[in-house]
Chains A and B, each alone.
Chain A
Amino acid sequence: MTAINDRRQLAYAAAQATDARVNIELEAEGMTLNIGPQHPATHGTLRIIVRLDGEQVIEADPVMGYMHRGYEKLTEVRTYPQVTTLINRIDWVSSFANEVPFILAAEKLMEVEAPPRAQWIRTILFELGRIANVSMFLGDMGVQLGAVTPMFYALRDREFILNQIEAATGGRFHPNFDRIGGLKDDLPAGWIEDTRLALDKMEYFCQQVEDLVIGNEIFEQRTRGIGIIPADVGLSYGLSGANIRASGVDWDLRRDNPVGLAWDQVDWRVWTHPDGDSFARYWVRLQEVRESCHIVRQLLDGLPSGPIMAKVPRVVKVPEGEAYVACENPLGQMGYYLVSQGGLTPFRVKVRTASFSNMSITPWLLKGTYVADVITILASLYFILGDLDR
């Protein structure tokens, strides 16, 4: 597996070296190109300063922080129930996945454990959030390469999942459903049946994407062997989630560290791909959506009965101490380092978001690539700009 990786990379590097030599002979002068801050390829604002030599990138420098909203500081002046509404908005495409690690960190400090039914519902909503988020990527990647159709299919089929999230929590994008010690409410009657139907549609969408995008030769030519991240480089830059799994590293916090959630109760597998190129990242994410559908189906079948809330005082005060809980967000590892001094509000919250680390590899990754591939590589890394800038 690594042999294929090395061979591809050597071929890629050799092609780039030839081009560079041509450029030196022509004495081409470098040019600075600003990609962003506003660019259709980014659903937010991100600026990348690219130094070009002809068609080749010599140097790429991402400028982040245009959407910095100061969440870490804001949480210090909000009580614990209010914080969950704020952190919903960090990664706006899969908000429920943002709430869970924070609530788990607070629960760890309070030494409260949510009842099993609450844990299972949390896992179901977490995975539904992942499906909604990653299906967005599956459509969006097509748009970056000029194929608009997958985006429409993605938006259409994601809507069924969002409807299910809305029916359970009341919010399409900002559920604010998690509470310390359990959940706000139980599932409404008929929800499980409706969710199964929505999952059917999502699995059909995955098949469509496979026929439409994965099998397409133009897509393969634009992504195969482009933007290769070797496993050791990826690890040293702190990549996580599907980006590192696409480089062949078998690492998934859902399996390795199932913190108080129900992933260890069901049967599923972690998908990896040995290549580490843009195509591999797309392929791994497609399999992950399928796997998530598989997980949710099993969880719906075996949902335990019982209460959804543990005994927690009405005014939540978290005892003194510090805790770090990380979960496998749709984008990668997302963790909250929570320091409490026993008051109504957290003393300090450090948010470790996946997009920030995933983005930090871009100077290394974009060096030597062609301008046309820059957008493809950025899209395949998949970052949500709210998650990047916090």
Chain B
Amino acid sequence: MAKLVPGLVKGLGVTFKEITKTVTKGAETVQYPHVKEDPAPRARGVIALHEDNCTSCMLCARECPDWCIYIEGHKTLAPPRREGGKPRTVNKLDRFDIDYGLCMYCGICVEVCPFEALFWSPEYEYSEPKIADLLHDKSRLGQWMETVPEFESYEQGSEVKVKKVPR
């Protein structure tokens, strides 16, 4: 038995040190409902849709690995840019749904969008009691746009340009 003591004492010393650290300096744990966690600006929380930029080109829906994006649209005539010109044909978005019950949060849709209509927001509080409510329609996806942070600047030595978020 006596052989077992030194290591145990050493181990208890470690735990005791940790207890004093927790009591005096506070725990590392975030006390969630009272204190909100602060995810990194790049965190993939929820996808926001900037509807004006979307042309319903269907690229995101096709590239999605689990096909959780549903898009419908139609062509309409918009008034001409100059007076006396021809009316323009524009794509009007009827439906843009993302099913977060299926989404894998891979970010391929955001990446392939050629018109900068989709953005990541680090927001995470959108759990629902019913799985059907996880289908976000285009107005709900549009509301997330307010929570999208500005793109961060890059670390030294980088040659990538910092993009801007359309507001």
Complex CA distance for A184 and B41, rounded to whole angstroms:
16
Q: Which A residues lie within 8 Å of B15 (CB)?
A: 149, 212
Q: Which A residues lie within 8 Å of B120 (CB)?
A: 170
Q: Which of B14, B40, B108 contacts A211 (CB 8 A)?
A: B14
Residues A186 and B158 in contact in the complex (CB < 8 Å), given A149-B15, A217-B7: yes
Nearest CB of B to A195, in Å = 10
Is B72 part of the binding interface, using a Cβ–Cβ cutoff of 8 Å?
no
Q: Is the CB of A188 within 8 A of B65?
A: no
Q: Which residue of A lies closest to B110 (CB)?
A: A170
Q: Is the CB of A82 within 8 A of B10?
A: no
Is B79 part of the binding interface, using a Cβ–Cβ cutoff of 8 Å?
no
Q: Which of A79, A86, A174, A188 contacts B42 (CB 8 A)?
A: A188
Is B35 part of the binding interface, using a Cβ–Cβ cutoff of 8 Å?
no
Q: Is the CB of A85 within 8 A of B104?
A: yes
Q: Is the CB of A305 within 8 A of B159?
A: yes
Is A13 part of the binding interface, using a Cβ–Cβ cutoff of 8 Å?
no
Chain A 201-245 interface mask (CB, 8 Å, partner B; 1/0): 000000010011101111110000000000000000000000000
Is B23 part of the binding interface, using a Cβ–Cβ cutoff of 8 Å?
no
Q: Report the stretch among B84-92, B93-101, B130-138, B149-157 that lies at the interface.
A: B149-157
Q: Which B residues lie within 8 Å of A218 (CB)?
A: 4, 7-8
Is B43 part of the binding interface, using a Cβ–Cβ cutoff of 8 Å?
yes
Q: Is the CB of B40 within 8 A of A174?
A: no
B contacts with A, residue count (CB < 8 A): 36
Q: Is the CB of A305 within 8 A of B157?
A: yes
Q: Which A residues lie within 8 Å of B155 (CB)?
A: 186-192, 303
Q: Which B residues lie within 8 Å of A187 (CB)?
A: 154-155, 158
Q: Which of B8, B153, B157 contacts A117 (CB 8 A)?
A: B157
Q: Is the CB of A186 within 8 A of B18?
A: no
Nearest CB of A to B44, in Å = 4
Q: Which B residues lie within 8 Å of A81 (CB)?
A: 63, 108, 111
Complex CA distance for A304 and B156, rounded to whole angstroms:
10
Q: Is the CB of A211 within 8 A of B158?
A: no
Q: Which residue of B lies closest to A159 (CB)?
A: B28
Q: Is the CB of A308 within 8 A of B14?
A: no
Complex CA distance for A277 and B112, rounded to whole angstroms:
50
Complex CA distance for A81 and B64, rounded to whole angstroms:
10
Interface residues of A (CB under 8 A from B): 78-79, 81-82, 85-86, 117, 149, 153, 156, 159, 163, 166-171, 174, 176, 184-192, 208, 211-213, 215-220, 303-308
- List 29 contacting pairs A-B, 8 Å CB cutoff, sorted by A: A81-B108, A85-B108, A117-B157, A153-B18, A156-B28, A166-B43, A169-B42, A170-B40, A170-B43, A170-B120, A171-B43, A184-B107, A186-B158, A187-B155, A188-B152, A189-B154, A190-B155, A208-B14, A211-B13, A211-B14, A212-B10, A212-B14, A215-B7, A215-B10, A215-B11, A305-B156, A306-B157, A306-B159, A307-B159
Interface residues of B (CB under 8 A from A): 3-4, 6-8, 10-11, 13-15, 18, 28, 39-44, 63, 65, 104-108, 111, 120, 152-160
